[in-house]
Amino acid sequence: MEQLQWGRHYVAVEPTHFRVEYAINPFMDPAVQPDPERALAQWRTMVATLEGLGARVDVLPQRPDAPDMVYAMNLGLGLVREDGSRHVVMSHMRYVERRMETLSAQPWFAASGATTSYVGRDGVGAHLEAGDAFAFGGDLVVGFGPRTEELALKHLAAELGLRVRGLRITHPGMYHLDLAFCPLDERRALVCPAALDDASAAALLELVPEPLVLTEEEALTTFCANSVVVGRTVLMPACPPRVRARLEDWGFEVVLVDVAEFHKGGGSIRCLTNPVDVTLGRDLTVVPGGEVVLPAQL
């Protein structure tokens, strides 16, 4: 089975100022704070494990006033053009508490040699959070609803010249698609249909030839869909026995890394790592003018 070609170059944010200062998702409670030393140790183990698997991890410093910036997946959608140049579509966060993150991330991406753009800024355009966007099957699969606005799909498709497949997220606990969907290779993915409305769940199951379907409980209590894949290795925060058995039967190796301190903020391994090596023309099929595909209502 052909492996994912992306997922070998990540951006992460060192958790020097990570804390739960407000509640913008069901997991956050300012009365339950992460242990700073334990969080930093867990993050460093995660980075070292990724590097040990052959992945590259670039590290941004964390803004003192941006406690959620450690969830780097949401900084922007990183792409590689066919000529090898890099571009990042910066997120425009739904909640004002996170919007200052891009004030530091955008200059960092630009200084690293990437061009940058926005689909929405200061209330203009539409909210986009990159934790809702994945390359799969040649298309950009984007969840919308709790964080990303449906209008953002049109902007992405037109700007990038891609087919964007939209999925409506309705579950409050799986507010980003990265909590319910994890591509494994060209045909397989972890999928939690309970995150989506009926039409979107059916569309995602049709899109993935061989889905490993997660229950609502598995997705919410273990964060197992919020994992990353490097070749045939799946780096996971936890893995229920049933899920492990299927992954190993498919030829994947499961490696567990404890990032439980970050679950207190509502994110896990995928949220902490942003893949920036998705390539136009290889992982994503170029569609002149772009196209948005939404599920037919059931």
Q: Residue 26: pLDDT above 90? A: yes
- Number of helices and strands in the chain (H, E): 8, 19
Collect all residues with Cβ–Cβ distance below 8 Å to 80 and sequence separation of at least 6.
Answer: 86, 87, 276, 277, 278, 279, 280
Average pLDDT, the chain: 96
Cα end-to-end distance, the chain, whole Å: 33
Q: Are strands 9-13 and 274-275 parallel, antiparallel or unpaired?
A: antiparallel
> Which of left, alpha, beta for 223 (phi over 0: left; psi -120 to 50: alpha)?
left
Using the structure block, give the residue that is written with the tokens 């699969």: 141
Read off the pLDDT of each residue in 101-123 and give the average, rounded to a whole number. Answer: 90
pTM of the model: 0.96
CATH fold, domain 9-17+34-288, is L-arginine/glycine Amidinotransferase; Chain A (3.75.10)
Confidence of residue 296 (pLDDT cuts 50, 70, 90): confident
With the C-alpha atoms ordered 278, 49, 263, 16, is the resulting torsion angle positive or negative? negative
What percent of the residues of the chain are helix, what percent strand, and what percent coil, each to the nearest 5? 30, 30, 40
Domain boundaries, the chain: 9-17+34-288
Contact by Cβ (8 Å): 145, 169: yes
For residues 227 and 257, what is the distance between their CA atoms, to the nearest angstrom? Answer: 10
The pLDDT value given to residue 121:
63
For every residue of 11-59, DSSP letters joined together read EEE--SS----S-SSTT--TTSPPPHHHHHHHHHHHHHHHHHTT-EEEE
Confidence of residue 123 (pLDDT cuts 50, 70, 90): low
